[in-house]
Amino acid sequence: MVTRPEDVAPHEFNPWVHVSSLIQDAGKLLGLDQGMVKRITTPERIHEVAIPVRLDNGQIEMFTGWRILHDTSRGPGKGGIRFHSSVNVDEIAALSADMSIKCAVVNIPYGGAKGGVRVDPATLSIGELERLTRRYAFAIAPMIGPDTDIPAPDVNTNAQVMSWIMDTVSMLRGHATTGVVTGKPLAIGGTLGHAGATSLGVAICTVGILGKIGRPVAGQRVVIQGYGKVGAPLVEILTARGMNVVGIADVHGAIHCPQGIDPAALTKHFAETGTVVGTPGSMEIPADQLFALESDIAIPAAMGGVITPEVAATMSATIVVEAANGPTTGEGMDVLTKRGIQVVPDVLANAGGVVASYFEWAQDLQGFMWERELFTQRLEKTMNEAFDHVWKRHLELGATLRETAVAVGVERIAEATELRGLFP
């Protein structure tokens, strides 16, 4: 079971307790009764599985995995699968609740879910990774499906992992089940435009907040923490829109380039070395100093809990756009708010990925692939409408953008829950 708030030590960051408190606060802001808030907060199903894997040396190793279905009031569960050594039930539960809110914020017909395996995939061979994935897929197969719960890639998982999951479930059910996962390769039911969709959504929200507060897009200085599936495309997208990415960090270190990083040079250097450190025209800086660099916009695009009170106190940017899930702690958010720093929250800013997954799922059910232009057009329309609605409610409620976005999601979940009633 997930950790109870009373079991968390003071000043200890627990992602599940943090997300639960956000939902509770949204309920108070909206005037919801406590019974409805409890229902929205409580996950519908928590599934923990043991995953035995035969390693290449013949030995058997045991891993632990989870799939948590948080809410299905608005549709089947939706959420990624991550492979990481830090994965635990509280993290997965928090991310599943985040997904419920995120899907409601962008108004797509999904609930929230999340999955993960506690493993360092870098220690596994490709064969071991496939055996781990297939055994995990077998264990959670009763929970997932196009009409119940649809996984997608997340940290340390990709299109190949989704292919193995789709194939495993298809073999179990005796027919091709392309809609059971999203983020697949094109050859087996993927969609044009899915790659980079989260980054595009972040860019749309970045441009959106600049427009709302009356600042020009061109010339804005940006720092990005993370150079992976989200951070890497962002450098090119933001530069193309006239912004200057002046700092970027990965797991190996951070760099600073006051005049703006050349995306092509960075891509080439990273392909050759596996790190952003040493990119031509840049200087290396301590990774923990990235957010202190002189900048206008900070984009955390790596792991959660990185903007602590200490980091928030030295933040140079006046806008934070959360590309990662849960990058700001509650105490960190308090500091940012006191300093007047605008934060576009993760449940809105990084929702481009789940919107893309929704489009892929719809195409799988239809058996018809959209053109890339149609995909991009619909993604931009959905993200812009979501941002505009959150901003409108932000002005009406007089709350921060984070409080407002969570409230919008909770409000829509509560409406669906009320309309469906309680069975039996």
Task: Give the C-alpha separation, 155 to 226, whole Å.
Answer: 12
Q: Is residue 369 part of a domain?
A: no
Q: Is residue 22 part of a domain?
A: no
Same domain, 214 and 324: yes
Task: Give the C-alpha separation, 202 to 238, whole Å.
Answer: 10
Whether 13 shows a pLDDT value over 80: the answer reads: no
Whether 144 shows a pLDDT value over 80: the answer reads: yes
Query: Mean of the per-residue pLDDT values for the chain?
Result: 95
Q: What is the mean pLDDT of residues 20-44?
A: 97
This prediction has a pTM of 0.93
Residue 32: per-residue pLDDT: 98
Q: Is residue 58 part of a domain?
A: yes
161-162-166-171 Cα dihedral, nearest 10 degrees: 0
CATH code for position 277: 3.40.50.720
pLDDT digits (tens, 9 = 90+) for 378-415: 999 999 999 999 999 999 999 999 999 999 999 999 99
Q: Is residue 228 part of a domain?
A: yes
* Active-site entry in 102, 114, 184, 229: 114
Same domain, 209 and 343: yes
pLDDT digits (tens, 9 = 90+) for 106-132: 999 999 999 999 999 999 999 999 999
**What stretches of 263-400 show up as alpha helix (H) in DSSP?**
263-273, 309-314, 330-338, 346-349, 352-366, 372-397
Q: What is the mean pLDDT of residues 226-234?
A: 94
Task: Give the C-alpha separation, 247 to 295, whole Å.
Answer: 9
The fraction of the chain above a pLDDT of 70, given in percent, is 100
Q: Is residue 114 part of a domain?
A: yes
Same domain, 210 and 165: no
Same domain, 58 and 150: yes
Q: E strands within 166-225? A: 221-225
Whether 347 shows a pLDDT value over 90: the answer reads: yes
| 397 in Cβ contact with 407 (< 8 Å) | yes
Q: Is 229 a catalytic residue?
A: no
More confidently predicted of 248 and 326: 248
Per the structure, the complete domain to which residue 106 belongs is given by 43-178
253: which strand partners? Answer: 250
For 56, phi and psi rounded to 5 degrees? -60, -25
Residue 197: per-residue pLDDT: 94
Same domain, 335 and 202: yes
Same domain, 205 and 345: yes
Task: Give the C-alpha separation, 193 to 256, whole Å.
Answer: 30
Q: pLDDT confidence of 297, banded at 50, 70, 90?
A: very high
Among 349, 382, 409, identify where a domain stops.
349
For 146-197, give the DSSP string. Answer: TTTEEEEE-TT--HHHHHHHHHHHHHHHTS--GGG-SS--GGGT--TT-TTH
Task: Give the C-alpha separation, 221 to 231, whole Å.
Answer: 15
Domain count, the chain: 2
For 410, phi and psi rounded to 5 degrees? -65, -40
CATH code for position 107: 3.40.50.10860
Same domain, 149 and 257: no
